[in-house]
Structure 1
Amino acid sequence: MLNTANLTEIKNEEVVYQNPLLFLKIWEIKHDQPHFGIPEPWTWHWHKQVEFLVVTQGQLGIQTKDTYTIMEAGDIMVLGSSQPHRTYKHSEAPLHQIVFQIDLTQHFDLSTLAYLHLFSELTHSLEPFNALFRANAAVRASAYRLISQICEESQSRQIGYELAIVAAIKQLLLLLLRNDQRGLSGLTEDSGISRLRPALSYIDEHLTERITVEDVCRILNLSYHYFIKYFKKVMGLSFIDYVNYKRIKKAERLLLTGDLSIMEISYEAGIQNMAQFYKLFKRYNQCSPKEFKLRLRDQTEVRVE
């Protein structure tokens, strides 16, 4: 009987993105030695990123705080953000697996934000997608192919590999969306986004300024309490979280394309408090603004070599 009670010793695993602009890490693990079984100690770990596990050969045992599963070749499992889990080689046969860790929230722009709340886990778990993988062989095979493609592109790094990876990620999200068994797809009504569009445009145009809920309520002629509830229902995240998300995205662009100082970038993004800026930037990127620039530079140097 597996012990699910001891969740106190959990390692917070830092995920270092292979490309800081793609917000993902993907690699293949091969265990060809005959040794198998639960290790001692069998430690838990978690990370902010969503994780897809794909078994290409052998058997993988995996335990979360709620379930214990033996994955076979061809199986796929998705682990939600910050979900504790631990794995082991379950049989003597070689075990080959693909581990795909990604910040899904970074792969939505203004044209697709209507679907962000279906994957952001703020209100809905990703766990039902595992039932979809188990029940629908066609969906499982398509997801397997897309994740394998992302892994191959990440390893080969041929020209345009970033475009290929982004396209495959969008196809994976679309696959899950159109086969969603949670019955949530109807929540993403265009009428809701259309009603909020003046507010979204106002936010984009005034990011460098102080933006309040009251300002946007006046534009939409809505009461404060109705607006904040309606905004979260339609967008899947709170008004404040959305504004912060847009500000950090602007800061990222400024870090990549300009020569402004960190303080100037913070001000340009509408965040006057430097401590708050660093805190928000690290929340979305798991690194400081300076580290973000250094990682991009290192990535570029690797590509040149």
Structure 2
Amino acid sequence: MTKRYIPVITESDRELPYYLVQVGQDWNQEHVVRPNGYLYQWIQSVEGEGELRVDGKTFRVKEGMGILLFKGVAHEYYAVSPSWIVDWIVFDGHQVDAFLKRTAGIVSSGVLFVSRPEIFAAKTQAILDIEQADIPLKSVQCSSIIYALMTDLLQYTSTQPDNSATNLNSRLRPLFQYIDKNIAQPLTLEDLAAITEYTPQHLCTVFKKTTGIRIFQYINSVRIKKSKEMLLQHPHMQVKEIASLAGFDDVNYFCSVFKKHEQLSPSQFRKIHY
């Protein structure tokens, strides 16, 4: 059954980093043309197919895909099947743009493949449940769901099929295991790429998309974690030996990386925590 909820938005709601504007469920999508754009929108294709026109491009939107539209961007969308059923959420907030572009790495409007569409459907239902409930601070609770929606965009969507951060993370799992087991050994990009069957360059791209950091930053983080464990488990072991066991050939470089991570030298860390 088609449902729609349009909350009353107060000035205090507009101060929230993310806030709900309206939501629709099982909507038989009509032809929409907005030459001046609108607010931020997530439109999930539930049944049937549609097309999106934005930034001079036309995208087909099939079941299990979604549209993300940025605020103020001209767009048009319409059904190309007899009916096009969608769920949609319209939202805004002073932190939305920064989160999408800097954290999620989504810089423009377009169509996304969704690896877990049921998770997004649950967000729409959760907002409608809040609307029906007799609870205080509904706008704050909806704000938390909008934030969760955007983290889901980061984890479960991608511009290519089966290329979401969650799927990529599964592909990288053997690599994480290999790094953990061999952290004391020299680790080359070529050896790491061979484990994943990616090229070295593609591995760097996939790893950054999945984790948000470069691969050797991650390796250094694991090595620092191991060194912290050894500093506390072996209070009489020399720092130079711990550096070697954690995979650092140069103790001075180890101390430099450690201090950058912990804001303390290895000796200071041991003294404070032991």
TM-score (normalizing by structure 2)? 0.45
Structure having the higher strand fraction is: 2
Bigger Rg over Cα:
2
TM-score (normalizing by structure 1)? 0.40
